[in-house]
Amino acid sequence: MAKSFRNFIGGEWVAPAGGAFLENRNPADTGDLIGRFPDSDARDVTRAVRSAKRGFAAWSNTPAPQRGDVLRRVGDLMVERKEAIADAMSREMGKVLAETRGDVQEGIDTAYYAAGEGRRLFGRTVPSELGAKWAMSWRRPIGVVGLITPFNFPMAIPTWKMFPALLCGNSVIIKPSEDVPHTVHLLVEILLEAGLPPDAVQLVHGRGETVGKALVEHPEVPVISFTGSTATGAIIGETCGRMHKRLSLEMGGKNAMIVMDDADLDLALEGVLWGAFGTTGQRCTATSRLILHRKVHDRFLRRLVEAAEGLRLGDGRAERTDVGPLIHEASRANVERYVEIGREEGAELLTGGKAPGGRLAAGWFYRPTVFAGVRAGNRLEQEEIFGPVLSVIRVGSFDEAVRVNNGVRYGLSSSVYTRDVNLAFRALQALDNGITYINAPTIGAEAHLPFGGVKATGNGHREGGWGVYEFYSETKVGYVDYSGRLQRAQIDTYDV
């Protein structure tokens, strides 16, 4: 009998108000039931908000360096449990252990960065234009923060949001993806063990259209941070706009790797395999387009197809596996639909294009797929697929490659392989993305740098790095006039 997990609301582990649960199954072997997780509703969100408001009152008055100390202990506990969490994450999400270990490590890095930030959280002291007047700014907590996260980075993305939000003195309510609820359950256990006051964190499991929606629509949750698809982000954005909420959106991508005629092709080959088929293509930064210079096009493709066919599919928890399954049946059906679209658009299927049989039939596996002859503007080239499907576009020049890269609605990440330093710097300027890699694939962000994209990928905010602390705090300004008389800014000094 699989375990029934609970929400964490009001300082205790509780069953959902409606008593309903959702099954969490291993995508590599759907016969493996991990547990039942709450299928919560708006009533659970209401209770969580009530408790989070109490949590905010106490936690926001805890000095920031002490808040940082709690997050340092969180990091320490994550280090201790890294292997166990990675194993649980591979079981529910499917990606290989090397990647789930990396996912936990990103959380650890984020915890230690946040811990240090507790002794910074800089404000500014600046000269006033008037004499005997002091002018300064500092950062204040905002209130209850609602966090909604996707399935593909079950630990890293929740920590990118939670840790800076908590360090800034807010209380948080997290609704993790219903596809990977176990990892955040383990994270909340760690937060409590590390000494976070229980009311400062609430975990409400459930579906987006119920729990996620209720959180976004709750009038006493002034800040929402969402990572997921652009379609869901648009719905959330409308509500938050209407309700004047502070909102961070991190959404879809259609990232390209450009391989120029002077590139180190061995390096580029390794990069594209990792970028396109790592996490089974289910990364917001996945390399889903390969823009090849015509002079290396045929040579590179031959090697790519052979290498893609050599990738070993399997359970992510087996050390020999290169590529795990897709997250669920609907996701595989979506990939199949795009393969059909590619065929209809006249692209040439070089390898893949089907699910494997045999012992892999028990999971949502799909073979690494490469389409050549994809034309800029085709649906295969424009739309996010979120699976192991790589579209190859042939170009004749760097300028054409830039046009193809920039010709999509998304703008998360891009990559260029070249040995020409001038071209590398031109690319950094010309490619319209939040992140550009030179001689590395479109993935590989580090926790202490800003992460996010332009156009339909985001709404101007960034996760990670220093900027995210501005998102989760309010700037307050104070003026102290110690002149003993009325001084008028803009008027007294510039009176002509």
Catalytic residues: 250, 284
210 in contact with ligand NAD (CB under 6 A): no
Is there binding between residue 248 and ligand NAD (CB under 6 A)? no
> What is the distance between the alpha carbons of residues 254 and 271, in angstroms, rounded to a whole number?
16
* Least separation in angstroms between CB 404 and ligand NAD: 20
Distance in Å, CB of 127 to ligand NAD, minimum:
39
* Residue 77 touching ligand NAD (CB under 6 A): no
**Does residue 235 interact with ligand NAD by CB under 6 A?**
yes
For position 250 contacting ligand NAD by CB under 6 A, the verdict is yes
Contact 170, 60 (CB under 8 A): yes
Least distance in angstroms from the C-beta of 23 to ligand NAD: 15
Stretch that binds ligand NAD, among 113-121, 165-173, 249-257, 301-309 (CB under 6 A): 249-257
Task: Tokens for 47, please give them.
Answer: 């209770």
Q: Is residue 284 close enough to count as binding ligand NAD by CB under 6 A?
A: yes
Binding piece for ligand NAD, criterion CB under 6 A, among 136-144, 228-236, 258-266, 298-306: 228-236
If one asks whether residue 386 binds ligand NAD (CB under 6 A), the answer comes out as yes
Q: Does residue number 384 form part of the binding site for ligand NAD (CB under 6 A)? A: yes
> Cβ 252 to ligand NAD, closest distance in Å?
4
From 29-37, 210-218, 293-301, 487-495, give the range in contact with ligand NAD by CB under 6 A: 210-218
- As measured in angstroms, the least distance from the Cβ of 129 to ligand NAD is 41
Q: Which of residues 427-466 bind ligand NAD (CB under 6 A)?
A: 457
Task: Looking at residues 148 to 167 of the shown chain, list those that interact with ligand NAD (rule: CB under 6 A).
Answer: 148-153
Closest approach of Cβ 386 to ligand NAD, in Å? 5
Residues in contact with ligand NAD, counted by CB under 6 A, come to a total of: 30
Of the residues 158, 169, 253, 363, which one makes contact with ligand NAD according to CB under 6 A: 253
List interacting residues with ligand NAD (CB under 6 A). Answer: 148-153, 175, 177-178, 207-209, 212-213, 216, 227-229, 232, 235-236, 250-253, 284, 384, 386, 412, 457
